[in-house]
Amino acid sequence: MTVRRARGAWVLAGAVVSGGMGFVMLLVIGTYLVAGNLAGGRAGGAVGLAKGAVPAAYQPLVEKWGDLCPAINPALLAAQLYQESGFNPRAQSPAAAQGIAQFIPGTWASHGLDGDGDGDRDVWDPADAIPSAASYDCSLAKYVEDVPGDPTKNMLAAYNAGPYAVIKYGGVPPYRETQNYVKIITSLEESFARPVGRVDPSRQAAGAIHYAQQKLGTEYLWGGTGTAAQGGRFDCSGLTQAAYRSVDIELPRVANDQYNAGPHPSRDELLPGDLVFFSDDLTNSRAIRHVGIYVGGGFMIDAPRTGAVIRFSPIDTKDYFGATRVTQDGAEALPTHAPST
């Protein structure tokens, strides 16, 4: 996953009107600047999970074991599991990494736990693998606790490069792979955490909306990504992907992965440009089936279904799941493969 350099100029979206809806949405740079001044940074203290960020079957495990030691939290543990396997308990890599936490056999033999107390240590069982991943993190954190710098970043670096490298270099070692790994997990952590305070606005949001506005009235195409061969048509996530690609942010192809491209503002904190998501299972972000781009006033631009056109639609429906404020770091961090542990 790559993110190209953001363009310096903002695109201002003017007033937009949809048939009889009669609402007006103005995107003004000052709105974003004011919101940015109000927005806080990363919150300290206890870190909870964002709504549905972890499949419901694993949420209690992640919440419990994510507080095993100060170097980790539930959102960080969730980010690791998502990066490793996409929460797939049957995942297996070409390097023989196994299960939801992608342990290789040698690491599992040394660090696997019987997390559920049933008498065995099963790398394929999340009830064992998730506690083992947390325990392994904490063991690494303890090993490098005297190293200067951020203890969580040092722990992640030890997870990737080994604790001896962290000790040798007095912190995150100067290995590109390790530095990228630390950045990926800490960026993904934000998308799994329940926001505390205001969420920073996206600088690319206005340009993404401007792109989507130009596609109003275009016929929906399942699987459409806007190519010439497809007649410039889109499905829902194809439209949002293209809108953010127009401002040099590369999102994943499918809606439930786009949910992890940044932090999650609450309904009353939505700003134009936020992605809004819909699901028949409001407890599980992996079940998301639809996405649109919020434009204000309770409406989004979306590509709804076969036989319809790209249009303005209300977001306040019973299947509204939540929202994501897209960030460059968040989009860049989304995994394209499952590394091994």
Residue 137: how many CA atoms within 13 Å on its side-chain side? 28
d(Cα 181, Cα 159) in Å, to the nearest integer? 9
Residue 96: other Cβ atoms inside 10 A: 12
Positions marked catalytic: 84
Which of 271, 275, 204, 241 has the alpha carbon at shortest distance from 7?
204
Query: What are the helix (H) ranges across the chain?
Result: 29-38, 59-65, 74-85, 105-111, 126-143, 151-161, 163-169, 176-192, 205-214, 236-245, 255-258, 328-333
Tokens of 80: 């690791």
d(Cα 80, Cα 57) in Å, to the nearest integer? 17
DSSP string, 17-61: --TT--------HHHHHHHHHH---S--S--PBPTTSS-TTTHHH
Distances (CA, A) of 321 to 10, 20, 94, 236, 261: 29, 26, 35, 15, 15
Which of 205, 135, 204, 147 has the alpha carbon at shortest distance from 172?
147
172 contact partners, CB below 8 Å, separation of at least 6: 149, 153, 154, 157, 166, 178, 179, 182
d(Cα 239, Cα 3) in Å, to the nearest integer? 18
